[in-house]
Amino acid sequence: MNSLQIDYPESLPAMLSLSAVEFEQEARMALAVKLFECGRLTSGQAAALVKLPRARFLLECPRWGVASVQWDAEELASEFLDLGRRPVS
């Protein structure tokens, strides 16, 4: 497996009120979420990058301002197409 090393100031985690381990996990999550948001990774691939179950990764996405489900306009339209035709109970 390949790895990526990013140098950061030793004081950075403390400035964010995080331990070094927490900061590094957040950095991995930020990378995974962004790549998922851009469509470069699937949710499963992004989850694997941060070593989380896929469902947990998807539940974390809104915390990062990213929708868990990414539908295009056609998919949205087809979901709501029948709303006007359904009987009201």
CA distance 23 to 41: 22
Contact 17, 26 (CB under 8 A): no
Percent of the residues in the chain that have a pLDDT greater than 90, as a whole number: 71
Is pLDDT above 80 for 16? Answer: yes
pLDDT category of residue 51 using cuts at 50, 70 and 90: very high
Residue 1 has pLDDT above 80, yes or no: yes
- Structure tokens belonging to residue 44: 């499963």
CB under 8 A, 24+ apart: contacts of 39-45:
39/70, 43/68
Give the total residue count for the chain: 89
* Cα–Cα dist 30/50, whole Å: 9
| Mean pLDDT score, 66-86 | 76
pTM: 0.76
Given a cut of 70, is residue 88 above it in pLDDT? Answer: no
